[in-house]
Amino acid sequence: MFTMTTLISLDKVFLAFGLEPLLDDVKLQVATGERVCLIGRNGAGKSSLLKIIEGSLKPDTGMIYRDPHLRIARLSQELPKTSTTTVYEFVAEGLADIGQLLSDYHELIASLAKTHSPKALSKLERLQAAMDAKNAWSFEQRMESILTRLALDPDRPVSELSGGWQRRAALAKALVVAPQLLLLDEPTNHLDIEAIQWLEDELLSLNIGLIFITHDRALLQRLATRIIELDRGQLTSWPGDYQNFLRRKEERLQAETKLNAEFDKKLAQEEQWIRQGIKARRTRNEGRVTALKALRNERAARREVQGKVTLNLNEANKSGQLVIEANNLTHHFNQQTIIQDFSVRIMRGDRLGLIGPNGSGKSTLLNILLGKLKPEQGKVTLGTQLEVVYFDQERRALDLEKTIIDNVVQGSDFVEINGQRKHIMSYLSDFLFTPQRARTPVKALSGGECNRLLLARLFSQPANLLVMDEPTNDLDLETLELLEELLSTYPGTLLLVSHDRAFLDNVVTSTLVFEGQGRIQEFVGGYQDWLHQAKPNSLTSPPKITSTKRRSSEKTKPLKKLNYKEQKELLDLPNKLKL
């Protein structure tokens, strides 16, 4: 019978970067087989906690126990920053010395496809001996298996990959270590739905410890065996699924509000007593004065629940009834058909979701529909009185060197929202930016703060057509649900690219599904509605990941998959040629 082993234990861990601690005497224990989801507001300290568990960040105080032979791998929130490194080399970095052997071996095998020089064959013999000594062959097989399952081209430079494919490469780097404890920070960012479903299945099949941060409620609901929440420096554990967490969290907040109200009432009574003057001084006792001081200190130390983001769209005048009409669109990219004979009519009030693998042409179609790109065939007609606001997942609209204020308004202290003037500081406070934070350069912000700033910038502009490309990345769950509520009641028109299945289900009225080879089909409803309407044997069952990129060197592909016997035969080739 399988017994759960404690992998890591934290006791009274404290960490502070400012006046208020991120971690205040935190306790946590994770065992083999547990899949723990860590949630909390942006800036609460979730990523810092993962770094402490990994060992790359030391707490100010506290005890940390790790299993002596524990292998830990962490997928960070940021995309890989590399230039000429190939995917194979990047993934192999996760294996340290063995990874370097594998990278050298992979490069040498590729070069032997072009020339069988004695020098190269001699180097191959030395590499194979070193790999034998370190049992590197099992890791080579694991490398090949993971790269294949994630449809990654091993010889492609990481810098040439899109955000989604870079995310896959980073995920492969974390998985190749065969960790006993896996730490994932927003693993679904930049992944398409197929890759997310593969990730879910893969993580469910692993009998390891898992701690993950995510805003993807479908992933959370399917994976988590326990939810832990980091709130105002305190870590609390909630057994069960996300719906159970929401219910019990609401009950806890109501109880906290009631206790705080009773405390404040008692404090007010004691403050009134102490101010009674001479009469009070005659009757007061030293113990009551001491108790009042303690009450004051306790009240000063209380950390209030952080306010919620306040989202209001700056609505423009209504557009015409017809927003966009496209007829018989056909378009190619890199000699690949991405749109084939596609027609659609978008009316005012429609909320369209675009679903498809990374690189399937969703952004291209948006640009064609908005008139930014001319299709090779077909015609697009734009409606009247359109005012478009575009949310770009790459955040190109933000100037990293300028402050938060200057990114929202320039040369003014006010914004106008639906005919009402509002001071910029008050407006930014709706997005949880304090006056001090509002003067911070954008380059110092976290991913979640950047997305909140982008929302603040876009929602200050009048619009009747919202175009949003992956708006949910890096948002905390509370802000995500508020955005979801806002968009689901938006009276204008919405074009939404998202891989968040729950978000699509709760927001869109119909979906455009990219089925491959240029076929785009429209379905009524969201993600689940599409699955129910799709034909049998299509994507109603968990789909396989299919790469949208062709491998760059098809000729060398067979050589990259040589087994051990074939490699030995290659090594003996010079001796056979002499005979």
CA distances from 104 to 116, 175, 196 (A): 16, 20, 31
Q: What is the pTM of this model?
A: 0.72
Q: Do domains 1-71+180-261 and 322-533 have the same CATH topology?
A: yes
Please provide the DSSP assignment of 476-501 as one string.
-HHHHHHHHHHHHT-SSEEEEE---H
Look up residue 48 and give its two tokens: 């810092």
Q: What is the pLDDT of residue 282?
A: 55
* Beta-carbon-side half-sphere exposure of residue 115 (alpha carbons within 13 Å): 4
Pick among 3.10.180.10, 3.90.700.10, 3.40.50.300, 3.10.20.30: CATH of 322-533: 3.40.50.300
DSSP alpha helices (H): ranges in 396-541? 404-408, 424-429, 435-438, 447-459, 477-488, 501-507, 527-533
Q: What is the pLDDT of residue 558?
A: 36
Q: How far is CA 564 from the centre of its chain?
A: 39
Give the β-pairing of 181-185 and 322-333: unpaired
Q: How far apart are CA 506 and CA 101, in angstroms?
A: 49
Q: What is the pLDDT of residue 266?
A: 77
Main-chain phi, psi angles of 403, to 5 degrees: -75, 170
Q: Which residue has the tokens 């080579």?
A: 140
Rg (CA), the chain: 28
Note the CATH architecture for domain 1-71+180-261. 3-Layer(aba) Sandwich (3.40)
Domain ranges of the chain: 1-71+180-261, 81-178+549-579, 322-533
Q: What is the pLDDT of residue 550?
A: 37
Query: Does residue 306 contact residue 429 with C-beta atoms inside 8 Å?
Result: no
Q: How far apart are CA 223 and CA 29, in angstroms?
A: 18
pLDDT along the chain (579 residues), means of 10: 77 85 92 92 86 93 92 82 80 82 80 72 79 78 85 87 82 88 89 86 90 91 91 85 76 75 77 63 63 71 59 73 94 90 94 90 92 93 90 78 87 81 86 85 81 84 88 82 85 92 92 92 91 61 41 36 53 55
Q: What is the pLDDT of residue 539?
A: 44
Give the β-pairing of 493-497 and 226-231: unpaired
Which residue pairs, CB below 8 angstroms and at least 24 apart, start in 287-293? none
